[in-house]
Structure 1
Amino acid sequence: MPNSPSTFLDAYGAGLSTSQQYQTLSQTGNSAAAVSVLNTLFSYGDHAPSITSASSSSVSSTTYVTVGLVLDRNNNISADPLLSGTWAQRQAALDQYSSPADLWATYGANTGDYNTVQGSVPSDAFLLANQLGYLSSAADRTVWATFTVAEFAQFFGLASTDVYVVTPNSNSGQATFVAWAGSLTLPSSVSGLWVDQNVSITTPHLINSTAVPLTGLPGIGNGANSTPAQTVATPAAVAANYNFPLGADVPTDPIALVENTVNNQAGLFAAYNLYRQQVGLSPVTQAQFQVLSGTTDPQGVVIPELTLDISIVAGAVPNSTQLLYSFLNTYPYNANSTPFSAYQLAFFDTTNHPSVITSSYPAVGQASAGSVFDWAWQELFKDGALANVSVHMAAGDEGASANFPNGTVNVAHTHSSPFTLLVGGTSIAGLYTAQNDTTIEQTAALAVAGDPATIFPLVAAGLKTLPSHLSAAAPAAMATVLTTMFETVWQSIAVESGTPTSVSFGSHQTGSGGVATGWSIPDYQQAFGLSTLTNGNRGMPDVAALSSGDTYYAVLSADYVNGTSTTLLHGDGGTSAAAPLWASLTTQFNAVFVDQGLPKLGYYNDLLYIAAVIAPGSFNDVQLGNNDNSYFTSTTSTGYTSPYYDHLYVAGTGEGYSAGLGYDLASGLGTPNGLLLARALSAIAHSQVNSLADPSTSPPMLDADGSGWESGADQALLFQTTGNGATVHLDLGDHATLFSSGASASYSWTSRLAQQSLQSDFDPGLALLFDKQGQGAVSYARVANNETLAVTVDGVAGQATQASLSDPYGFADFFAGSDQVRVARPVAIAETVGGQDDQVAVVRMRQVGENSLQLTLYKVDDLAGTIDGLAPGHPAYAAAAQGRAYLTTYGANSISGPGYGQFGYTELQGVNAGDIIAMRLDNQTTGAVFWAFANANEVVNGQKVGHLWNYGLNTWGWEDTYGGGDHDYNDLIVQLDFTSASGHHWLV
């Protein structure tokens, strides 16, 4: 049960409202204090709002406020156990319910309690809310009522003198709303309360903070200094740049869009089809563009957010029907409502059942953590997860400040539910744009000159073409092709010279990100190892995509629809564009999943974090830029003004977050490589489903034994070290192994680079640029089932932070300071679609070795590599392996390397579920033969030489030279894929 009672500051005040004013009001309910607080919080500059007591004769009897009374779930059952399992466990649990009615009979409200609460509400208030479109039912656990102010006071046990009608000044941009002082009395079975008014504090926070001197552009990669240099690309071009997996001809499911209003529907629909024609898409029928909630003005203004959203979805998934759910803001009853009702209508739409939803709208008012308002908001998105809807929400365009001018970092609490996928913002620059962006032009010159130190992080961020091979031509007015050279955090704040200097704080120029202190860290971020970074709270964003900066989206102009412009297309963006782009990608993933016999994704944040660990090539790792835009405001001159504030000065405090290696609070996991991510998600989902059906098919590599780790099977293991060089101590049961590792080369191959190289359009020049970059050392051991395993590096115990995510896929990383030891199997276990036999497996290769190479894949009997009792290294082992060799679909029992720098692809036939697949490499130039199992290889200095290196999900790199050569382990990169060839082969 959430904390109650609550005051109006809980509903409208912000998570910042722990002020003495709030405390005093909570304790006394004093009306004079309430008016004082309202004047303080909702004034703008030196303009005060008009505040009228509900008891005044000047308050109209038709002043309304709509409230949702939210009940607990049936028998106080919690949705958390169902939602906290693995994705496959959630899907299996949801599948047990034969219909939505069956599901909500369990997770909705108790029918008797619901009827009691509904009966307590004045019938006219309940009927009016119903007429306005609010969804009241035991399933959604909400009784909506549209009260007059007098009814509101009476129902919640308030004196009429403690209810106020607040009319903000005209500069605030807010509508009239209802507020109150004192505590509300709720019906006994009501656990949550939602007041459907979008209200934000407009009075800035005047805080004594240290200002940071500002000049130019605080961000990087957002400063193309001429309009022609800034690219305006079609959404289809952006989707193609992110390697979306499906072509435009593949049918995809509808997408739900939460919108504020959908005015002038006839004019909008006509303009939308003109836009589609302009960007090369076929027109749609009205059935493919449906407005499903909200009464809107036929002559009203269409806002840019709406035209932006529908344009992104049209370009990215042109065959998806768009289902628009707008706020229920019918004047005069709710002149400025929240998106709560729109989310609810989408989640409980029993006709259309949308499986993917995108929104840029949180609730503006920040409910205090633990309040009845906060509880209602949290449970709403649990409903979305239970309805198996993938919810995408823009992280916001307000940077690390969240547009709270208090001088520090903040996160909008209603923008950070762990059951939504929060999408941050980036900027993309091609070569021409980069050469005209003063913040990156020098870096671009180094990249074109072939500087590996410059190019290496650019490849991690998605660069697939050697910079010297990129076109330097100016982009077209509407670019239909977009090629990333730089991807940076979206940070377009600019400091302009003047007296005083102007800086665009508060003007929606930066992707939001930070730590949501009102939410505990979700399981998927805990398992990823983010507890220290986020101090045990929810970090955001989860992912990112192009928002604005050096590249904009070519979208339908709202001004064109409104008749104020004759230009049909214009450039626009923001995280409000990044969210529908990710929703479109999820819709393509759903098409792939259904094609492969899997359920739709629904709530799938955990799968994305697993993919980032085992298949890091699935994400472009944005490593440049920041979202530093924290600031404070003052009535005293600071030397800076902002166009966002009236009669006030601003000053930046320099607080925020920077992009870096891996997850960060500016860009999350990164931006998508759609095809690689689709392959990873498919592999993870089938593995989880297969494990539920038969856990024995893929035994864990390591088990947690309470105090450490132990081997999950009798198996061979690789121990590979990266970092600055170290002495590694392995405790394996009752014996120990000690080996030394030199430092890894500056550009030694990572799992991300190895996986990225396995793209047919990855430039061979990039692969060759990073050839001959030595890894650390690799050791090899046979480990018995249940044998304990511990890793120590230079005396520091290694911590397998992410092992719970990677272990089911055959490896675990032990971190110790700047060094890392990967424990991995040298074999693959075939996790086929549906656990079926006689399947086709895809083999991808990238050769970065100069010799002629040949690869053989063969079946072994166990994880130690034995065949009919013969261990690797036995004189008869080679013949036994040849007898177990898989045939390609062309009938060959070996695969030739594709050649120096080149990519190759083939397929194996006859792969059965649970097959254990090992490899042999023949260097046909030198005649040497190497095995995945080091105990079958040559001896140098008394040690067997390992020739194999693990690069993540069923991906390995070979060293093709006797004695270990240059130890770069990229002479032949090999990946096995057991799911992409299923269905329509869309991922092959």
Structure 2
Amino acid sequence: MPGKSRVSIPGSEKALPAQARRVGTPEASSDVQVTLRLRPRTALTPHALMNAESAAPMTRAAFAQTYGANPEDLKQIEEFAHDHGLTVTQSSLERRTVVLSGPLEAVQEAFGVQLHLYALNGSEFRGRSGTISVPADLAGIIEGVFGLDDRPQASPQFRYAQPPGTAQPHTSQPDTAIVPAAANIAGFSPTTLAQAYAFPAAFDGSGQTVAIIELGGGYRKADLTTYFRELGIPAPKVGAVGVNGARNRPDGNPNSADGEVMLDIEVVGATAPGARIAVYFAPNTDAGFLNAVTQATHDHTRAPSVISISWGAPESQWTAQAMNAMSQAFLEAGMLGVSVLCAAGDNGSSDGVADQLAHADFPASSPYATGCGGTRLTLNGDAIGSETVWNNPGHGATGGGVSAVFPLPTYQTGAGVPPSVNPGGAGGRGVPDVSGVADPQTGYRVRVDGVDTVIGGTSAVAPLWAGLVARLNQARGQAGAAPLGFLNPRLYALAQAGHITRDIVQGDNGAYAAGPGWDACTGLGSPDGEALLAALES
């Protein structure tokens, strides 16, 4: 009830961008939707997952019984909603998620915030500053409150080799590779890259589902049909899943988020043609992003074994509660045997922040995600000729560095993660873990909104590795083994024992340089699928 003592939600502090300009206040009667993340019934214990080279995954039903939210906590949230004139529009014990909606005034009173409209870079958003508070009796129940602020939370990590509007008309025959956007732009079909990176040829990802998280854009079936026909392989089985009211919504502009969506689907579909693909479309907010991940993780129907995420932002642009909630969601995925691959960023060691400091990109910097960095690749025929760190002035550079938020995880002990180059030289989680070709000048041939073009960025590396993991999971399933799940402890242990990746030793991303072994540009290196499969089997 109003008048109760209140407590701030830890980590909910949020600041407005310096360039944001207040332009008004939403109408008092306007409806606001808020996502609450509740505490687990039993405290999550990540130690076994972080330290073990393999951990038997839980079933989703067993996880819900042990680590889902407590029904009594949900009852208290329902009472809180009733007291403040809010409606419970969705709840999930296993996802520990409750979605509330109600008029602006009621939401502001319930969570102790003031919401205003702001203008930034030509668009408007509903924003807040300061902390979020709740009645003291709910402080131990609610771990995070998301969606009050609806500014865009993340950006897609892809780059065109050249503006897609200048792409050339496509003239290839059904049994030939897709033609790049322009003759002077070197690009590869994903099938060529799968061969060059020695993806196990005996497996195609059959029996696996790859989840792709998208925060905008959409795909057109006609483009996928044409693209895969011209690659000479069957089009993948693709399904769209709406989250928080979002849906598959292509806008017909190749320069939009459609480029991200098509890149992700086409890379996964070409590198794991036997796998099913589920695309989870969510609003580009902290609530939408989190809900997409938890919905994919706990999806009993599609049961993905891999999640590919090509959206992110510098750690400094996230609230602590959002990073904690997302990281916990990735931990849950690992406990369920689901691998999470995240793009490491396309703006070098600064991650696009203009403060002369190095920044890691989140969610790739989560210790429970496998961060994917970028390289520049040349081929001699079907074989790799050279591969260096992607750092191409005017065309971006791979993200990577040392987290300012997460400490060094156990699996990176002995990997040689350096202290941060920032003043004070603090230690932390090293990013990325693995890499693959990302330079748009040696990028991926794709089709977006009827246009054949070439795209790069670490956005392409996450689905590339997702395709490889789908193949490896198929192989493991045929051998009676569990899916790989959380990759990092296993990858680092195998890397110490022998060759499982192509070590990238030349180049830098600004503040960090490549070298033998793990580095803050390309991690452990780019894929050697057959070597990784052999190491896993032995």
TM-score, normalised by the number of residues in structure 2: 0.84
Aligned-partner SS, 2:405: strand
Measure the CA separation in 1 of the matches of 2:365 and 2:401: 10
Aligned-partner SS, 1:383: helix
Residue 247 of structure 1: how far off its partner (Å) = 4.1
Measure the CA separation in 1 of the matches of 2:263 and 2:250: 20
1:76-155 matches, within 5 Å, as: 77-88=43-54, 90-91=55-56, 94-95=57-58, 99-122=59-82, 125-128=86-89, 130=90, 136-155=91-110
Give the corresponding residue for 1:435: none
Residue 612 of structure 1: how far off its partner (Å) = 1.2
1:541 partnered with 2:432: yes
- Report the CA distance shift for 1:342/1:115 in structure 2 as closer, same or farther (over 3 A): same
Residue 309 of structure 1: how far off its partner (Å) = 0.6
1:342 partnered with 2:292: yes
Residue 408 of structure 1: how far off its partner (Å) = 1.5
Give the corresponding residue for 1:323: 278
Measure the CA separation in 2 of the matches of 1:323 and 1:149: 34
Residue 298 of structure 1: how far off its partner (Å) = 5.6
Letter of the structure 1 residue corresponding to residue 383 of structure 2:
T
Which of 85, 109, 115 matches 1:164?
Answer: 115
Give the corresponding residue for 1:67: 34
1:392-431 matches, within 5 Å, as: 392-430=341-379
- Report the CA distance shift for 1:570/1:252 in structure 2 as closer, same or farther (over 3 A): farther
Measure the CA separation in 2 of the matches of 1:674 and 1:299: 33
Give the corresponding residue for 2:529: 674
Q: Deviations over 1:609-633 (max 9, x none)?
A: 11211112x21111111111xxxxx
1:238-257 matches, within 5 Å, as: 238-247=193-202, 251-257=206-212
Residue 515 of structure 1: how far off its partner (Å) = 0.4
Q: Deviations over 1:249-306 (max 9, x none)?
A: 673512110012354x6xx01211111101111245xxx2100124437674461100
Residue 241 of structure 1: how far off its partner (Å) = 0.4
Measure the CA separation in 1 of the matches of 2:11 and 2:427: 29
Measure the CA separation in 2 of the matches of 1:61 and 1:241: 58
- Contact 1:165 / 1:179 at 8 angstroms: preserved in 2? yes
Give the corresponding residue for 1:649: none
1:493 partnered with 2:393: yes
Give the corresponding residue for 1:461: none
1:623 partnered with 2:505: yes
Give the corresponding residue for 2:448: 557
Letter of the structure 2 residue corresponding to residue 189 of structure 1:
G
Aligned-partner SS, 2:37: strand
- Contact 2:372 / 2:461 at 8 angstroms: preserved in 1? yes
- Contact 1:429 / 1:485 at 8 angstroms: preserved in 2? yes
Which of 207, 229, 233 matches 1:281?
Answer: 233
- Contact 1:620 / 1:672 at 8 angstroms: preserved in 2? yes
- Contact 2:314 / 2:359 at 8 angstroms: preserved in 1? no
Letter of the structure 1 residue corresponding to residue 71 of structure 2:
T
Measure the CA separation in 2 of the matches of 1:552 and 1:164: 42
Gaps of 5+ in 2: 1-6, 155-180
Measure the CA separation in 2 of the matches of 1:201 and 1:235: 29
1:794-813 matches, within 5 Å, as: none
Give the corresponding residue for 1:483: 383
Give the corresponding residue for 1:387: 336
Residue 199 of structure 1: how far off its partner (Å) = 3.4
Q: Deviations over 1:464-502 (max 9, x none)?
A: xxxxxx5xxxxxxxxxx64321111111223xxxxxxxx
Aligned-partner SS, 1:528: coil
- Superposition CA RMSD, Å: 2.9
- Report the CA distance shift for 1:597/1:359 in structure 2 as closer, same or farther (over 3 A): same
Give the corresponding residue for 1:312: 267
Q: Deviations over 1:551-586 (max 9, x none)?
A: 11111123x2xxxxxx4x211111000110001001
- Contact 2:125 / 2:150 at 8 angstroms: preserved in 1? no
Measure the CA separation in 1 of the matches of 2:502 and 2:60: 38
1:261 partnered with 2:227: no
Gaps of 5+ in 1: 14-37, 54-58, 131-135, 203-225, 431-469, 471-480, 495-507, 561-566, 629-655, 684-988
Aligned-partner SS, 1:176: strand
Measure the CA separation in 2 of the matches of 1:589 and 1:666: 25
Letter of the structure 1 residue corresponding to residue 484 of structure 2:
L
- Contact 1:117 / 1:189 at 8 angstroms: preserved in 2? no
Give the corresponding residue for 1:580: 463
- Report the CA distance shift for 1:365/1:419 in structure 2 as closer, same or farther (over 3 A): closer
Measure the CA separation in 2 of the matches of 1:487 and 1:545: 9
Give the corresponding residue for 2:128: 179
Measure the CA separation in 2 of the matches of 1:176 and 1:612: 45
Aligned-partner SS, 1:375: helix
Residue 676 of structure 1: how far off its partner (Å) = 0.5
Which of 121, 141, 151 matches 1:190?
Answer: 141
Residue 516 of structure 1: how far off its partner (Å) = 0.4
Letter of the structure 2 residue corresponding to residue 121 of structure 1:
A
Aligned-partner SS, 1:588: helix
Give the corresponding residue for 1:895: none
TM-score, normalised by the number of residues in structure 1: 0.47
Give the corresponding residue for 2:397: 510
Letter of the structure 2 residue corresponding to residue 379 of structure 1:
Q
Measure the CA separation in 1 of the matches of 2:287 and 2:93: 23
Give the corresponding residue for 1:593: 476
- Contact 2:216 / 2:249 at 8 angstroms: preserved in 1? no
- Report the CA distance shift for 1:138/1:364 in structure 2 as closer, same or farther (over 3 A): farther
Q: How many residues align?
A: 492
Give the corresponding residue for 1:603: 486
Measure the CA separation in 1 of the matches of 2:292 and 2:205: 29
Measure the CA separation in 2 of the matches of 1:142 and 1:126: 14
Measure the CA separation in 2 of the matches of 1:69 and 1:52: 26
Letter of the structure 2 residue corresponding to residue 352 of structure 1:
R
Measure the CA separation in 2 of the matches of 1:314 and 1:412: 26
- Report the CA distance shift for 1:188/1:549 in structure 2 as closer, same or farther (over 3 A): closer
- Contact 1:516 / 1:538 at 8 angstroms: preserved in 2? yes
Measure the CA separation in 2 of the matches of 1:368 and 1:227: 38
Measure the CA separation in 2 of the matches of 1:198 and 1:182: 15
Measure the CA separation in 2 of the matches of 1:613 and 1:584: 24
Give the corresponding residue for 2:168: none
Which of 500, 513, 536 matches 1:658?
Answer: 513
- Report the CA distance shift for 1:413/1:315 in structure 2 as closer, same or farther (over 3 A): closer
Question: With CA pairs under 8 Å and 6+ residues apart, which has the higher RCO, 1 or 2?
Answer: 2
- Contact 1:293 / 1:328 at 8 angstroms: preserved in 2? no
- Contact 2:30 / 2:103 at 8 angstroms: preserved in 1? yes
Aligned-partner SS, 2:279: strand
Q: Deviations over 1:51-83 (max 9, x none)?
A: 435xxxxx32354443222222214x2322442
1:847-926 matches, within 5 Å, as: none
Q: Deviations over 1:781-836 (max 9, x none)?
A: xxxxxxxxxxxxxxxxxxxxxxxxxxxxxxxxxxxxxxxxxxxxxxxxxxxxxxxx
- Report the CA distance shift for 1:549/1:273 in structure 2 as closer, same or farther (over 3 A): closer
Measure the CA separation in 1 of the matches of 2:352 and 2:10: 23
- Report the CA distance shift for 1:354/1:148 in structure 2 as closer, same or farther (over 3 A): same
- Contact 2:108 / 2:115 at 8 angstroms: preserved in 1? no
Q: Deviations over 1:93-131 (max 9, x none)?
A: x45xxx422222111122211221233124974444x3x
Measure the CA separation in 2 of the matches of 1:250 and 1:409: 37
Give the corresponding residue for 2:175: none
- Contact 1:490 / 1:549 at 8 angstroms: preserved in 2? no
1:195-274 matches, within 5 Å, as: 195-196=146-147, 197=149, 199=151, 228-247=183-202, 251-263=206-218, 268-274=220-226
